[in-house]
């Protein structure tokens, strides 16, 4: 499992370096340039699952941190009580090159663990479409979680966040 974690960490690091080096900076014109270098914490997620009446956990309490280091990019890490009532950990990189007014549009790329039917609870990669809204010291991320066979359950998840810097 340590090797999988290292691969995920290196992948996120390389992706962050590539975009930070200027290869993705052309998209910065689409977003608010005042939003770099902010730190946010969150208490987990609330998920509205597409599959009803199978006993999934909708209240995904946890703790996470997000560091927005540019108008387009942010890093995130944390843990939460997942849909299968197990603890999941996550590492990710937000890439949100477009904005619709105050709403950022993009995806979070990374890895998570803790789902018993996926990699026996081990780490696996994820790409999740995401919308983000930030206003002063509060914000929200809305994630469209894709389902995968009978291993992961699809949902629309909302993550409230609070600025702490």
The residues spanned by each domain of the chain are 2-163
pLDDT band at 34 (very low <50, low <70, confident <90, very high): low
Coil/strand/helix, residue 80 = strand
| Site of tokens 């002063």 | 136
Average pLDDT of every residue of the chain: 84
Give the pLDDT mean for 8-14: 43
At residue 73, the pLDDT reads 96
| 54-105: pLDDT as tens digits | 999 999 999 999 999 998 999 999 999 999 999 999 999 999 999 988 899 9
Residue the block writes with tokens 């983000």: 132
Residue 15 has pLDDT above 50, yes or no: no
What is residue 9's predicted lDDT score, i.e. its pLDDT? 43
Q: Any idea which fold 2-163 has?
A: Porin (2.40.160)
Rounded Cα gap, residues 145 and 57, in angstroms: 14
pLDDT-based confidence at residue 149 (cuts at 50, 70, 90): confident
Mean pLDDT of the region 142-152: 91
Start-to-end C-alpha separation, the chain: 33
Distance CA 86, CA 84 (A): 5
pLDDT band of residue 23 (cuts 50, 70, 90) is very low
Confidence grade of residue 151 (pLDDT, cut at 50, 70, 90): confident
Q: What whole-number distance in Å separates Cα of residue 103 and Cα of residue 49?
A: 23
| pLDDT at residue 35 in the model | 65
pLDDT, average across residues 130-137: 94
Whether the pTM exceeds 0.75: the reply is yes
**Rounded average pLDDT over 102-127:** 96
Q: How many CB atoms lie within 10 A of CB 80?
A: 26
Q: Which alpha helices (DSSP H) does 19-139 contain, by range?
A: none
> What share of the chain in percent tops pLDDT 90?
70
């Amino acid at each position: 499992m340590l090797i999988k974690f290292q691969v995920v960490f290196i992948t996120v690091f390389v992706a962050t370096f590539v975009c930070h080096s200027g290869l993705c900076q052309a998209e910065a014109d689409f977003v608010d340039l005042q939003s770099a270098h902010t730190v946010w914490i969150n208490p987990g997620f609330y998920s509205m699952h597409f599959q009803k009446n199978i006993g999934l956990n909708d209240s995904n309490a946890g703790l996470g941190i997000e560091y927005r280091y540019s108008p387009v990019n942010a890093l995130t890490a944390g843990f939460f009580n997942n849909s299968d009532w197990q603890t999941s950990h996550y590492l990710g990189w937000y890439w949100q090159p477009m904005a619709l007014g105050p709403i950022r549009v993009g995806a979070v790329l990374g890895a998570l663990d803790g789902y018993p039917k996926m990699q026996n609870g081990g780490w696996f990669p994820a790409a999740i479409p995401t919308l983000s809204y930030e206003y002063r010291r509060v914000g929200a991320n809305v994630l469209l979680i894709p389902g995968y066979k009978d291993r992961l359950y699809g949902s629309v998840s909302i993550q409230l966040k609070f600025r702490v810097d």
